[in-house]
Amino acid sequence: MANTFSAKQFLTYFAKARTVYNTHSPFVYELTKQVLEDDRHYYAFDELEALRKKMLDLEREITFVDFGAGSHSMGKTTKRKIKDVAKTSLISPLKAQWMFRLINWLKPDQMLEIGTSLGLSTLYMQSAALNAQVITLEGNPSSVTLARRNFDIFPYGKNIDIMEGPFDNTLSNSLQKLDKLGLVFMDGNHQKAPTLAYFEQIKPFLSEDSIVVLDDIYWSKGMSAAWSKLKGDPQVRLSIDLFHFGILFFRKEQKEKEHHILAPSKWKPWVRAW
């Protein structure tokens, strides 16, 4: 999703963010090492960025049903160029790599994505855990068609299960298909009330090994409010603020509830271990 956060919000995050050099909790230290510090380049990055480039070049128009951007446009059908959908909706390369590294580290068995668009983030998720079961939800029919085509291009995309329809219909059906929900990527309706409602619906299906990744936690006042509420949820034991993403963990071994604001050490090169 294209970001609309302000520079002030980013500076507030940045001032507070710790890096691998001043993070002391063992699990969080490992997370920073595996997700933010790992600079290995994977073959999938090149092929998926080539796919993004292809989408960004497509002038063809599709019918686009607007689902969740706000009450004014909700349900409105417009014509949009595929390249414009790609420009405004797709996960950025930085976030895609963080997501890939998180999944590659923790290897969840089952993943659910709320908001497929053209399928780029879905492919990043599946490529990081080739044996995982992936279900992704999308309401816009032409996005579903394009995502299906994109899934067919890659051997690891062929098993992705895309469920078409409003989340209000597909979310509960998708949850019935999953019995070991490892990771949920919430990247659909970026508003407070639906975000909280989807979380409540997902909650009974989470275990202490599950992870919920919430996209664009500073995208709007509503998303910031949703993030504050979710990180305060009693079932959440650990919350991680990466500015572009919020990550929730439910690990019971985490006795004290913790919240961490983290950034890659290269963003703060003056912070070093003594």
Segment interacting with ligand SAM (CB under 6 A) among 40-48, 103-111, 113-121, 248-256: 113-121
Candidate list 23, 32, 142, 143; residue touching ligand SAM; CB under 6 A: 143
| CB 211 within 8 Å of CB 182 | yes
3-state helix vs strand vs coil in the chain, percent to 5: 45, 20, 35
Q: Is 157 in the site for ligand SAM (CB under 6 A)?
A: no
Q: Is 120 in the site for ligand SAM (CB under 6 A)?
A: yes
Candidate list 19, 32, 110, 121; residue touching ligand SAM; CB under 6 A: 121
CA-to-CA distance for 39 and 190, rounded, in angstroms? 30
Q: Is 186 in the site for ligand SAM (CB under 6 A)?
A: no
Q: Is 86 in the site for ligand SAM (CB under 6 A)?
A: no
Give me the residue whose beta carbon is nearest to ligand SAM: 139
Q: Is 89 in the site for ligand SAM (CB under 6 A)?
A: yes
Whichever of 244 and 260 has its CB closer to ligand SAM, that residue is 244
The β-bridge partners of 81 are 61
Strands of the chain, DSSP E: 61-65, 77-81, 110-114, 133-138, 161-164, 181-186, 206-215, 238-241, 245-249, 258-261
CA-to-CA distance for 4 and 138, rounded, in angstroms? 22
Site string for ligand SAM, 1-40 (x = CB under 6 A): x---------------------------------------
Candidate list 28, 55, 68, 101; residue touching ligand SAM; CB under 6 A: 68
Hey, how many other C-beta atoms are within 10 angstroms of the C-beta on 253? Answer: 7
